[in-house]
Amino acid sequence: MTWSNPQTIGTVSGQPIIAELGPGLGSDALVAVTLSATYVRTPPPGYPAPTPAGAANGSATQAPGTILSGTTLKLPKPEAAALVTAGAASYS
C-alpha cells in the first residue's frame, strides 16, 4: 500500500508525529522502541499495527489508540524514527 507523504500518524502531548511512509511496509520492517511519553496513535487506513515487543510479528495491538509511556513495542521503521526524532521514544 502507498500513502501520501508526509503523513501524520499520531500525537504526543498534542504535537503531531509526522513520518515519511514508504511502500511495502510489513512485519520485516518493524523495530523495537520504548515510549518515553504517551502516544496517541492515529495511523492512516491500512497502515501496519504495532506489535508488543515480546510477541510474534503478527500479533498486533492498540491500533489506533493511546499507548502509554514506558511501553516497549515494535513499530514500522518510519513511525519509530519519527517518535525517536520527536524525543518521545528510544530504540530498544
- Mean residue pLDDT across the chain: 81
Domain ranges of the chain: 7-91
In the predicted model, what is the mean pLDDT of residues 73-82?
90
Over 60: is that where the pLDDT of 35 sits? yes
pLDDT for position 26: 55
**Helix, strand or coil for residue 82?**
helix
Produce one character per residue of 38-47: b if its CB has 16 or more CB atoms within 10 Å, e if not: ebebebeeeb
Record the pTM. Answer: 0.82
